[in-house]
Structure 1
Amino acid sequence: MNDDELTDVLEDAGLSPYQAEAYVALLELGTASATDVAESCDVPDPRIYDVLRDLESKGYIETFQQDSLTARARDPKEVLEDLRSRSNKYLDAAETIEERWDQPEISDHEVSIVKRFETVLNRARELIEGAENQIQIGVNTQQFYELEPALREASERGVDIKLSICTKPDAEIPTHEELEGVCTEARHRSIPAPFLVLVDRAWTCFAPHRHSISNYGVLVNDRTHTYVFHWFFLTCLWEIWDTIYTRRSPETPTTYVDLRHAVRDIEPLLDEGARIEVVVAGYKTQTNESVEITGIITDVDYTGKNMGRVEPVPLAQLAGRVAATVVTDDRTYEIGGWGAVIEEIEATNITVTDIQYE
C-alpha cells in the first residue's frame, strides 16, 4: 500500500486529510520537528501545530518541546486495534448485506424470491423444526438426508409427515429402516421434481430441480398460495406413486390431517352401516378460534359425488367442496377440509377413535 492509499484509509478511519498526511509523514520520519513534518507533507505551516495537537489528542502521536515543538508517532497498538475493529465491522456489514440480499426478511403474507437453493433449504429446515401439525415434502435422496434430523424430531413431536422421494428411476432411495421414525408415510416418484416443503398449511419452500435452467427459490407465508402448492404435491408428487413406507395400521385410532383422505376411507364404512366415532380438531371458520369436538360422523359430501361411485374415490372428484357431518351430544356440525369457507369448522385433524357395526 503506497502513501496515498494509506492516507485514504486513515481518512476513512476518521482523520482529516491534513491529519492523515501528517501522521503518514511522521511514520516515515520517526521523530521530527513540526516544521520538518510540514515540509514532508502538504499541510500548510500555519496549520501544522493544530494538526499535531489534534493527532496527539486522538492518541496517534505524542509531542514535546526540543528547541521547537517536536513530534513522534506513538506505539501503534491502539491505532492498529481501532483499524482492525473497523475492518471487522466492514466485513460484518458486507456479510449482513449479502445475507439480506440472498434471504429477505420474511413477514406475514409475503412471497419472497431468493437466489440460492441453500437459502430455501435452510428456511425449510427452520420451518420443519417449528412445525406443529403437518408437513408435506418432496425431495431427492440427498436433500432427504440433509433434512432427516429435523424431520425425525418433528415426527417424534407427533407431526404428520408425508414424504415424497423424487429421483431418477435407477437412483438409490432411503431404506425402510432409514424412513422409520422420520415420516408418517413415504412414496417414491421415479421422476426428478422440484424441491417442495409445505408446513402447517401456511408455509411453502420451493425451488426448481437441479436440472432446471432457472436458479431461484420461492418462500411463501400465505395460506392461499400454500393451498395451490398443496394440490401440486397431491397430484404430481403423491397420488399415483407407490408407497415405500407407512407407519399406519388397520387398528384405530387413525388420524387424518386432510379431510379428503378421511372421506375416502369413511364413506364405504358409512355405506356398510358403521357407527364412526371421531375427535375433530381445527378452527372455526368465522372467528379462527381453535376448537375440538367429539362426536359421530353421520354423512360425508363432496362436489364430485354425483359423478358416480368409484372406490377409492378419484382425487379429481374431491377437488371441490368436501364436508362431513359430525353429531355431538348437543348439536350437529358441518366440518370442512383445508380452505373451508362455508362449513363451521376447518378440520386440521380427524381422529377415528372407534368403529362399530349395528
Structure 2
Amino acid sequence: MDDLDDLEGALADAGFSGYEAEAYLGLLRLRDASVAELTDVCSVPRSRLYDVLRDLERAGYVETYEEGSLRARIANVTPAVDELRDWSEELSDAADRLETLWERPRFEHTDISVFQTHAATVREATARIDAADHAVHLCVSTTKLVDMADTLRDAVDRGVVVRIAIQAGTGDHAGEIPRLFPEIASEVRRCESTMHFVALVDGSVGVLAVDNEWDGEYGLVANDNTLTSILHWYFQIQLWEPWDTLYSESIGVTTTYVSIREIIRDVESLRTDDESVFVRVEGIDTQSRETVDVEGEVVDVLYTDIYQDRDVTFAQQFIQAALKIRADGEEYTVGGYGAVLEDIRAIQMTITSIE
C-alpha cells in the first residue's frame, strides 16, 4: 500500500486538520465506508470520527448518509484537488513575492528606489514605459531592445514619442533591429559606446541600471525632479546629441517635441517680425504639481544657443532654456526637464500654427 504520509502533510498544509486529512485519505482508499470500517484504516478515534466526517461534509469534501449506521463516501475528489492546487499557487505566489522583495530596494523613499539587480530594474522600467502617456527616452542594448519591443510598440501606438539610443556593439540582434524601428520608435540613434541602461519616462521618472565588473549590479528608479533632470542631461549630452541618426519617423520635420531646446531652435527659425508662432504645452505646474495643458503664442525665448555656438562650455548647457507664452491673457514661462524657476515643466510640446 502506498505511503500516504506526504499526502497527509500536504492536506494539513492546505487547511485540513490532522484528523480530517487522515479520515479523508482513509475514505479515499475505501471510496464508501461506515464509521466502523473507516476506523480500521485510520487512527482517528471512533468517538471523534463522527464529528470529523460532519466537518468534512460541511467543507464539501465528503457526503454522509444513514444505512443503519453513519456512512460516508467521496463523490468527487475535485474539491480537495482544487484546494491543494490553490495552496500550491499561493506558495508559488509567495515564492515570487519573496524574490521580488529581494530584488526591490534595500531602502525605499517616496520618490527613489534602489534595486538589487539589473534585471529587476529593467522590468520596473518596462512597467513604467507601459504606462507612459507622452515621452520615453531610452538607452539600451540590442538584446534588451528586442525584449522590450512589444512594450515600445504599444507606446508608439498610443502616440508616445519614443527616442532610442542603441548601444553599439551589444547583443546578437543587430540584423533584425532596423526593421523594427518604424514600429517601436520615433527616432533612433547609435550610441558609439557601451553605456548603462537608461530610461526617462514622461518627464518625471528616471531609471538607471548598472551591471559591470567595476561597479557591480544595481538599479535606481527616481520619481524626483532633481535626479531625473541630471539623468536627462546625461542622456542628452552623452548618449543622444553627439551621435548620428539611424531612423526618424519624419526626417527634418518635428511636430511633437520632448526637448525644450529643440523646440526653441525651431521656434527661433520660424519667428519673424510679421508672424507669430503658437504652441501647445502639456506638462506639470511647478507650484501645484498638477498636470496642465496650455496653448498660446510664443512671446519670448530664454536660452543658451548650444546649436549655433559649438564652443559653448559644458556648464553653459545647463543655463536656463525656456519659452514665454501668452494664453488667455496670462503669460507663462515653460521649461524642460528639471524646470524649477519656470511656471510649467514641459513634458510634450507642439507647434500648432504660424500666423
- Please give the secondary structure, in 1, of the residue aligned with 2:322: strand
8 Å CA contact 2:228, 2:337 repeated in 1? no
Q: Check whether the contact 1:139–1:164 (CA below 8 A) recurs between aligned residues.
A: yes
TM norm structure 2: 0.73
Runs of 4+ more than 6 Å apart: 28-33, 104-108, 210-213
Deviates more, 1:137-146 or 1:100-109: 100-109
Q: More deviation in 162-171 or 172-181?
A: 172-181
Cα deviation for residue 322 of structure 1 reads: 2.2
Q: Is residue 94 of structure 1 aligned with residue 91 of structure 2?
A: yes
> Structure 1: 5+ residue runs without aligned partners?
none
- Counterparts in 2 of 1:316 and 1:151: CA distance versus 1, 3 Å: farther
What secondary structure, in the 3-state scheme, does the structure 1 residue paired with 2:340 have? coil
SS in 2 for 1:208: strand
Q: 2:239 aligns to what?
A: 237
Asked if structure 1 preserves the Cα contact closer than 8 Å seen for 2:142 and 2:177, the reply is no
Paired residues for 1:6-25 under 5 Å: 6-24=7-25
Determine the structure 2 residue equivalent to 1:347.
Answer: 346
Q: Report the equivalent of 1:168.
A: 169
Paired with 1:30 and 1:351, the residues of 2 have a C-alpha distance of: 74
Task: Kindly report the root-mean-square deviation, in angstroms, between the aligned alpha carbons of the 2 structures.
Answer: 4.4
Q: 1:85 Cα deviation (Å)? A: 0.9
For 1:165-204, what per-residue CA distance to the aligned partner results, in whole angstroms no more than 9, with x for missing partners? 0132897366655423542321111222222222111233
Offset, 1:99: 4.0
Secondary structure at 1:338 match in 2: coil
CA distance in 2, matches of 1:23, 1:349: 64
- CA contact 1:34–1:48 (8 Å) conserved in 2: yes
3-state DSSP of counterpart to 1:188: strand
Tell whether 2:353 aligns with 1:320: no
Do structure 1's residue 261 and structure 2's residue 258 form an aligned pair? no
1:169/1:190 contact within 8 Å kept: no
Rg bigger for which structure? 1
Partners in 2 of 1:212 and 1:144 — Cα distance? 24
Q: Secondary structure at the match of 1:164?
A: strand
Determine if contact 1:192/1:209 at 8 Å carries over to the other structure: no
Q: Which residue of 2 aligns with 1:140?
A: 141
Secondary structure of the corresponding residue to residue 199 of structure 2: strand
Q: CA–CA distance in 2 between the matches of 1:228 and 1:28?
A: 69
Contact conserved, 1:134 with 1:200, CA < 8 A, in 2? yes
The whole-number CA distance in structure 2 between the counterparts of 1:284 and 1:329 is 17
Change (3 A) 1:98 1:235: farther
Which residue of structure 2 lines up, in the alignment, with residue 192 of structure 1?
194
CA 1:90 to 1:110, structure 2 compared with 1: closer, same or farther past 3 Å? farther
Paired residue type of 1:93: E
TM-score normalised by length of structure 1:
0.73
Maintained 8 Å contact 2:298/2:323: no
Is residue 108–residue 221 contact of structure 1 (8 Å, CA) maintained in 2?
no
> Are the aligned partners of 1:128 and 1:150 in contact in 2 as well (CA < 8 Å)?
yes
SS at match of 2:132: coil
Which residue number corresponds to residue 278 of structure 1? Answer: 278
CA distance in 2, matches of 1:126, 1:286: 28
Q: How does 1:26-65 map to 2 (within 5 A)?
A: 38=39, 41-44=42-45, 47=48, 60=62
Decide whether the 8 Å contact of 2:322 with 2:336 is kept in 1. Answer: yes
Query: C-alpha distance in 1, partners of 2:55/2:201?
Result: 60
For the residues of structure 1 that align with 2:27 and 2:176, how far apart are their CA atoms?
Answer: 69
The 1:100–1:268 alpha-carbon spacing in structure 2 relative to 1, beyond 3 Å, is same
Whether the 8 Å CA contact 1:194–1:206 is kept in 2: the answer is: yes
Amino acid paired to 2:277: E
Give the distance between the partners of 1:181 and 1:337, measured in 2 at CA.
27
Structure 2: stretches of 5+ with no match in the other structure: none
2:336 and 2:92 mapped to 1: Cα distance? Answer: 44
2:206 alignment counterpart: 204
Inter-CA distance 48–142: structure 2 relative to 1 (3 Å threshold): closer
Tell me if the contact between 1:256 and 1:350 (Cα under 8 Å) persists in the aligned partners: yes
Going from structure 1 to structure 2, the CA distance change for 1:17 and 1:161 (only over 3 Å counts) comes to closer
Distance in 2 (CA, whole Å) between partners of 1:316 and 1:41 is 83
In structure 2, relative to structure 1, the CA distance for the partners of 1:332 and 1:131 (3 Å cut) is: same
1:136 is displaced (CA, Å) by 0.2
Residues 217-263 of structure 1 deviation map (CA, whole Å, 9 limit, x = unaligned): 44444444433332232233213222222344445x74432213334
Do the aligned partners of 1:336 and 1:345 also contact (CA within 8 Å) in 2?
A: yes
Say whether the 8 Å CA contact 2:142–2:167 is kept in structure 1: yes
